[in-house]
Every structure is written in C-alpha cells, then in structure tokens.
C-alpha cells in the first residue's frame, strides 16, 4: 500500500514539473500564479488524503465471519481511494453509467413460466470456456439481481459477469417482469417486498444445475429483494452466500431522502419517469386492472407506489408496503453468509438507517461501509473504466465463498 506521504510528494513533484514546463510563471511579472496553483493543489491533495480516502468500516455479527472476510476478502481492510475528481456522492452516482466500460457479454436467454401464468426472463452466461471449472454440471454459479429498472445490460451487472468469467464461474441474471423486452402475459410486474418470482427463479436454477454451488448478488432494489427473501426463508435457503450492494434498508427513510429538493430533481423524477415508461409499455394488459392514466400523473416514486405498486400487491396502504419492503426488519432471520456494501454518502440509502445493531446480533451478516461511493458508484482510479471498488468486493467475496466456503458452514 502506498503511503499518503509518498502520494503527496509524488503528486506535488509531478505537478511542479508540469507547471514549470507548461505554464508561464510571470503572472504580473512574478511567480504568484504558479504559487497559487501549487498551493491550491497541495491543499486539495491534503484534504483528499485526510478527509476523502479512508478505510471502510466493517461490522460483523460474529468473529468467525469477520475473520473470514479479512483473510479471504482483503479489500475490506484496504483504504478506498475514490476517483479524486469525482468523489462526491451524487457525482459518483450520476457518472457511473457513463464512465465505466460495458464489456460485451453473449447471453443465452431463457423464459420460464411463473405459477400465475406470467413469464420471467433469465439471461445465462454459461462460461463454457472455463479452464478452472470445465465440468458444466459442477461449475460455480452466481445469480445476479439488477436494480429498480435494471436489466442484464447494466454496466454493474456486466462487470460482475466479467469478474465471474475470469474466475471460471457461470452467471444467470434474473430480469424482473417486463423490463428486458419480454411481453407481460399477466397484469403483474414486481416490487422489493414480493419475493415469489425470486423463489421460482432460485428453484428453477437449482433444479437445472443441481450439482453446482450457487451464490447470489443483488444491487439496489435487487439487493433489497434478496435480503427480504433470505429473511423470510431463513434456514430453508440453500445458497452458499450472498453479497448485496447499495441496498435501501428502510424504505421510509430512503424515500424521504430522495424527496429532498436537489435529490428529487437529480434522481427521483427521473426514476419515476422510468417506472412510468415501463408501465406504459405494457399499458394494454395493465389497464385492465389499474388506472394507468392516474399512475402516469405521479411526480415521485412515493406517488407511483401509492397509485400502482402497493395496489398491485394488495397492501392496505403504501405505508404497509414500505414496511414490508424494508429489509432492516428481516436481518435477524438471515441464515446464510451475507456481506452488504453501502456508502455512507448514498442519498438513496441514508446512513442513519443502516441496520448496524441488527447486523451486530446476527453472526451470518456483515456490513461494509465506505465513507464515499454514492449509490452503485464506488469509482476508483484516475479514469475508472475497467473496475470499481464494488467489483473488487464482489470478486474477492465470491471467490472466497466458492473456494473456502466450508469455513462458513457454521458461523454461530
């Protein structure tokens, strides 16, 4: 690990050399201009190294899981250096889809039928070229759950597939109903609280590759759904491990945070329009049961949920839906190793609502909190195209569980 002092010395040395060769020093006949620039740059570097670049906080309910993470997932103990020119929460969140690369993945699509007659789209990356796991029947497999309106083509999903490919693993992406181009066959979509489709998918995957070890990773709403599933099913869950990124733990607090003026302007209105666009694509079948015109007039996610989501899934009120959708109430019942990564500056999931006390009481759960990273951001490096801190957490934890999972068999 390069020390902050060495970083600072190298930076100021290079910066001084650059300005001596590129900048005319004679501002008003003196070197004042260069001095100001160097002074400002040095101050910024000092601020970054002291206040921005920090080691994450690791909270684990049991010593065994805590030690496993430090041994097999060393990134949890390393200083996270956010990209120095975009470390602020909202900037990280907004730039992630644009600056990170989208590696090409050739999926094999499968449509499966749900008990209500609806169809669910799965995108498989079989990784048949795997050198480390050539036997497809036993090839370790990761089930991936995208965010609110996400699909298998989101950059963060593609990066996890790429990491899995490099390790020799197989992936399958669970696309929520109606979001990846398939037709809705029944007037039903999805929500964070309802885990019926996820249960169908997990059972199908385990039947299909019954000899292969299976893990799951969920991002944002996908992580919320996954955590809710683990809490509801408890000891029935057969997953080897789970990793959750940027989950919203208390939906009341998440919604309130996104209704603050700036965040409503930057995120809330846009996400509401995305949800409405998804509904409008399936208007023909949905308008048989719901007032779609009323739904299309919603201005916020809360209004959308009041008019559509809570109604669709039969909740007496939107508050009842939000309470049921909040994973914070189910952490105590999780019975498989689950690592959760959140950034303390995530406006989608405010840090005062993190389930710190609940995690401390469950030896199967660990919470990793970075000081910066935004919502599904975690950008690092000068130009964060290829990999993020989140990618490294996923890679190390997944490898640790698949290759050293026996040490996690009994965390109590």
Predicted confidence at residue 340, as pLDDT, reads: 98
Question: Which of these, 399, 393, 363, lies nearest to 67 by C-alpha position?
Answer: 363
User: Is 346 annotated as catalytic?
Assistant: yes
Q: Given this model, what pLDDT does residue 97 score?
A: 92
At residue 171, φ and ψ (nearest 5 deg) are -130, 150
**220 belongs to the catalytic site:** yes
Instruction: Determine the Cα–Cα distance for residues 397 and 163; give it in Å rounded to an integer.
Output: 11
Catalytic residue among 180, 375, 387, 391: 375
Q: What is the pLDDT of residue 309?
A: 98
Does this model's pTM top 0.85?
A: yes
User: In this structure, are residues 401 and 240 in contact, taking their beta carbons and an 8 Å threshold?
Assistant: yes
Is residue 317 annotated as part of the catalytic site, yes or no? no
Q: What is the pLDDT of residue 62?
A: 92
The active-site residue, picked from 89, 180, 220, 326, is 220
- What 3-state DSSP class applies to 142? strand
| Burial per residue of 349-377, b for 16 or more beta-carbon CB atoms within 10 angstroms, e otherwise | bbeebbbeebbeebbbbbbbbbbbbbbbb
Structural contact between residues 394 and 160, judged by C-beta atoms closer than 8 angstroms: yes
* pLDDT for position 17: 46
Using an 8 Å Cβ cutoff, are 334 and 408 in contact? no
Burial class, 405, CB count within 10 angstroms (exposed 0-12 / middle 13-18 / buried 19+) = middle
Segments of the chain scoring below 50 in pLDDT:
1-12, 14-29
The one catalytic residue in 133, 346, 349, 372 is 346
Is the Cβ–Cβ distance between 254 and 305 less than 8 Å?
A: no
Torsion angle of alpha carbons 377, 89, 192, 334, nearest 10°?
Answer: 80
């Amino acid at each position: 690990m390069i020390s902050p002092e060495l970083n600072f010395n190298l930076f100021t040395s290079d910066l001084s050399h650059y300005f001596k060769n590129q900048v005319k020093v004679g501002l008003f006949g003196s070197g004042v201009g260069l001095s100001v620039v160097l002074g400002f740059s040095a101050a910024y570097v000092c601020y970054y190294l002291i206040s921005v670049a920090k080691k994450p906080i690791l909270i684990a309910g049991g010593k065994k899981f805590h030690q496993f993470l430090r041994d097999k997932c060393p990134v949890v103990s390393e200083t996270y250096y956010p990209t120095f020119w975009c470390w602020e929460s909202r900037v990280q969140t907004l730039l992630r889809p644009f600056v990170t690369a989208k590696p090409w993945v050739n999926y094999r699509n499968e449509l499966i039928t749900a008990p209500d007659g609806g169809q669910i789209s799965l995108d498989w990356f079989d990784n048949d070229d795997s050198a480390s796991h050539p036997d497809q029947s036993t090839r370790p497999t990761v089930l991936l759950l995208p965010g609110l309106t996400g699909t298998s083509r989101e950059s963060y999903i593609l990066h996890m597939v790429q990491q899995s490919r490099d390790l020799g693993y197989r992936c399958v992406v669970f696309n929520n109903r109606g979001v990846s181009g398939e037709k809705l066959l029944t007037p039903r979509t999805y929500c964070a609280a309802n885990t019926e489709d996820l249960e169908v998918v997990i059972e199908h995957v385990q039947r299909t590759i019954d000899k292969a070890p299976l893990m799951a990773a969920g991002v944002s709403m996908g992580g919320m759904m996954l955590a809710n599933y683990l809490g509801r099913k408890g000891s029935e869950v057969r997953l080897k491990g789970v990793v959750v990124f940027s989950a919203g733990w208390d939906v009341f607090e998440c919604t309130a945070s996104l209704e603050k003026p700036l965040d409503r302007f930057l995120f809330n209105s846009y996400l509401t329009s995305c949800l409405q666009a998804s509904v409008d694509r399936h208007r023909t079948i949905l308008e048989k049961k719901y007032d779609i015109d009323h739904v299309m007039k919603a201005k916020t996610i809360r209004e959308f949920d009041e008019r559509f989501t809570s109604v669709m899934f039969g909740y007496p009120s939107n508050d009842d839906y939000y309470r049921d959708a909040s994973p914070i109430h189910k952490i105590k019942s999780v019975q498989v190793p689950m690592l959760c990564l959140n950034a303390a500056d995530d406006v989608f999931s405010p840090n005062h609502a993190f389930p710190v006390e609940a995690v401390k009481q469950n030896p199967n759960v660990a919470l990793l909190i970075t000081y910066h990273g935004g919502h599904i951001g975690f950008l690092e490096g000068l130009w964060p195209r290829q990999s993020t801190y989140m990618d490294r957490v996923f890679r190390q934890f997944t490898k640790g569980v698949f290759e050293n999972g026996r040490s996690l068999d009994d965390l109590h």
